[in-house]
Amino acid sequence: MKLYLVRHGETEGNLVHLYQGEDDSLSTKGRAQGEILAKRFQSIPLDLILSSRYKRAMETATMVAEAKKLPVQIEDLMVE
């Protein structure tokens, strides 16, 4: 079994070192990073995509999931 751990893309809060809550979204750069990540995973077989419930994490995971035609499963244990 291989396990890939990926951090969410950049948020505006990341740029100014702010503590972020559950509802912070990806920045423009963060969305571009998610698209690059999805392309990198095109040739890598995946069985499962897990994400925290945080919006920025779900946005990043969804980009990969859509490219892989897999659902994103929310895991409540994955929190800061």
* Radius of gyration of the CA atoms of the chain, in A: 12
Distance in angstroms (rounded) separating the CA atoms of residues 40 and 27: 20
Q: CA 61 from chain center: how many Å?
A: 4
49 three-class SS: strand
Q: Which two tokens stand for residue 11?
A: 């948020």
* Residue 59 annotated to the active site: no
Per the annotation, the verdict on 17 as an active-site residue is no
As annotated, the active-site residues are 8, 80
